[in-house]
Structure 1
Amino acid sequence: MTTGKTITFGIPCYNSAEYMDHCISSILEGSDYAEDVQIVIVDDGSTKDNTYEKALEWQNRYPNIVEAVHQENGGHGMAVLAALEHAKGLYFKIVDSDDWLDDDALSKLLSTLRDFEWRDMRVDLVITNYVYEHVEDNTQNVIDYKYVLKRNKVITWDKIGHFNMAQNLLMHSLCYRTDILRDGGVPMPAHTFYVDNIYAYVPLPRCKTLYYLDVDLYRYFIGRDDQSVNEKVMVSRIDQQLRITRIMMDAYHLYDDIETPELRSYMIGYFTLMMAACSVFSRMSDKPDAMANCDELWDHLKEYDKRMYRRARMGIVGIATNLPTKVGEKFTLGIYRIASKLVKFN
């Protein structure tokens, strides 16, 4: 890639005019308006405000940095893929339009990526910390990887430690080399939320080298009632959660396809939590077919890969989130409530 762009930041936007400026400004200011940075703002068919017009204003102000893209509404995944299609950077990172990046942390990330490029070092994945910004009670919850990954060192998957359940590598922590995402693609369905789980899971085995930069880069806004991670919203979209989990399931036979035991262990742990989420939110849903659809997903997993099924269903998490009888269901939901308060992920 000879464009001179070190990194592309993709910003999917849908009716985001109210808050997108903060996101875009944080990247421009944190990068000191550097022209080896590209920002691709994707308006995903906004209907209620002037999102695209705002994107064009930013493009007109910084034509060497910002590119505005408009597409018919296709959902978050299609907006991510549109940003990837327009990306000119050696690296690629998604920042949702209601989130933002920390100035000092972004400066350190850019210095690190430029150093890789200058030294002709191939690093497929750069991992940074992210921070849950709970606006309701003005608290923060930092997710870091200090005891899982070696800091400031290029490593391979066999050198990683054990991730606990609150340390999944979510979209917010990932900065991929662009060609990793393009080579093999990312199977994003249209008009579906929670595609960030696919983005943070399917490309991982293609990453042969990784680097942990211990900075609190990504600031993840938590607080809007209509936010996709709001509990009521997640329950109402259980069909989409099931769809995403099935795509992740069908991406790999983990015990056959993933050679490195450490990476396999991480991915089966992540997948197990996705199946657990399906079980919990299906129980919370008032949709008459929610539990039947969840049971069908478990049956599909058992048929698809018996070892993955045993690990996801017969482990502690699988058992705790699939207890039979009404008493068991209440216990399952109680466990979820406790975990939600401890981790504060929504």
Structure 2
Amino acid sequence: MKKVITFAIPCYNSAEYMDHCIQSILEGTSYAKDVQVVIVDDGSQKDDTPAKADEWEQRYPDIVKAVHQENGGHGIAVLKGLSVAEGTYFKVVDSDDWLDDEALPKLMDKLREFDRLGERVDLVVTNYIYDHTLEGKRHAVNYRHALPVGRTFRWNDMGHFMMSQNLLMHSLCYRTDVLRDGGVPMPAHTFYVDNIYAYVPLPRCKAIYYLDVDLYHYFIGREDQSVNEKVMAGRIDQQVRITRIMMHAYHLYDDIDSYALRAYMVNYFVLMMAICSVFSELSDHPDAMDELGDLWAELHDYDRRMWRRARLGICGLATNLPGRGGKLATVAIYRTVAKIFKFN
């Protein structure tokens, strides 16, 4: 049967929680045969992830495909899933997250409708929920005031995004061919590649649809989680690596025709530079600030206009305050924002 969508689940030593993720997709789609679930075992060696992946494929061979590879990191696992995807659409679901059982059928209905009518939609956007399970708290992110609801639109039809409304991997369902045509430059053994995934392919998307449902549950709570403040500070070199790739993907003011998409992508990139600035301040790496200085200098040489926007705008000034007092103020600003928007 033709596959309407492929759900790719990168798994690395995920045996403790991957079943919940997989089950949420199978149950939410009513075990439909036009769905493909690709479980990518990214070289797991410390638990039963490989065996679990194979067991799921054996139980549902018409739906689930288990793929094993040497460890390459999250981005390489996503690309592996993409390489074997059979669905018209492609969505990544991390193994510690899950999809909502009421929202998922609505997404499936809409994708099947596009397929039945022969309507090409390059990107479907849905809402997501920061699920602070250990605290018993949830924080939903929607796009109601930024995107037209319930109709196909173009980038210039969208409105202004607030700081809390960036399009993240959790909210995106791309047409598979959009991702394949032009590729997604995901580096190996690097965290935070979801920023590349949610940034580089956007200009290729011509027709977009916003389905206003709370689909994706993004688990927040493990101490070793990539968005934990201490973990992010310890991996500042990887954050810089991701930001550098995003920098070189486009000369935004020259390459992006849509003024609305350009404004959105400029703001996204400015935020990435601010994150690099904050976590360089928080990092214990002795060369973190030198690497940050090199990144700003590289941006200055690569795209002077982007440098001015990122460094001399409010966000850049607030996250690069001079002196010890400036460092304390920068960190305080970040923690206040994090507390308000609850993203880690």
Tell me the residue number matched to 1:199: 197
2:97 matched to which residue of 1? 99
- Work out the CA distance in 2 between the residues paired with 1:210 and 1:255: 22
1:33-65, CA deviations, whole angstroms, 9 ceiling, x for partnerless residues?
Answer: 000000000000001001011000000000000
Alignment-derived partner of residue 110 in structure 1: 108
2:239 aligned to which of 241, 265, 269: 241
Instruction: Tell me the residue number matched to 2:37.
Output: 39
Aligned residue for 1:136, secondary structure, equals helix
Amino acid at match of 1:112: K
Alignment partner, residue 128 of structure 2: 130
Q: State the partner residue of 2:260.
A: 262
TM-score of the two chains, using structure 2 as the length reference: 0.99
Partner of 2:64: 66
- State how many pairs are aligned: 344
Which shifted more, 130-139 or 170-179? 130-139
Local SS of the residue matching 1:312: helix
Distance in 2 (alpha carbons) for counterparts of 1:250 and 1:302: 12
Select which of 157, 160, 171 maps to 1:159. Answer: 157
Answering whether residue 167 of structure 2 is matched by residue 188 of structure 1, we say no
2:20 partner letter:
H
Q: Over aligned residues, Cα RMSD in angstroms?
A: 0.5
Summarize the alignment of residues 289-328 of structure 1 with structure 2, pairs less than 5 Å apart. Answer: 289-328=287-326
Q: 1:181 is aligned with what amino acid?
A: L
Matches of residues 50-65 of structure 1 in structure 2 within 5 Å?
Answer: 50-65=48-63
1:136, distance to aligned residue in structure 2 (A) = 2.6
Partner residue in 2 for 1:277: 275
| 2:330 aligned partner | 332
CA deviations on 1:128-151 (whole Å, 9 max, x unpaired) are 000000023110000000001111
Q: Deviations over 1:198-236 (max 9, x none)?
A: 000000000001000000000000000111111110000
Distance in 2, matches of 1:166 and 1:151, equals 18
Q: Which residue matches 2:8?
A: 10
State the secondary structure of the residue aligned to 2:119.
coil
Q: CA deviation at 1:329?
A: 1.1
- What is the match of residue 220 of structure 1? 218
**CA distance in 2: counterparts of 1:54 and 1:333, whole angstroms:** 42
The answer to whether residue 14 in structure 2 is matched with residue 19 in structure 1 is: no
**Equivalent-residue separation in structure 2 for 1:217 and 1:136 (angstroms):** 20
The one-letter code of the counterpart of 1:312 is A
1:101-150 alpha-carbon deviations (Å, 9 max, x no partner): 00110000000000001010000000000000002311000000000111
In 2, Cα distance between equivalents of 1:194 and 1:109? 26
> What amino acid sits opposite 1:70 in the alignment?
H
3-state secondary structure, aligned to 1:148: coil
Matched, 1:229 2:213: no
Show the counterpart of 2:78. 80
Cα distance in structure 2, aligned partners of 1:310 and 1:162: 21
TM-score, L = length of structure 1: 0.99
Counterpart secondary structure, 2:182: coil
Q: Any gaps of 5 or more consecutive residues in structure 1? A: none
Give, in angstroms, the shift of residue 325 of structure 1: 1.1
Secondary structure (helix, strand or coil) at the match of 2:232 reads helix
Structure 2 CA distance for aligned equivalents of residues 148 and 256 of structure 1: 24
Structure 2 Cα separation of the partners of residues 308 and 271 of structure 1: 9
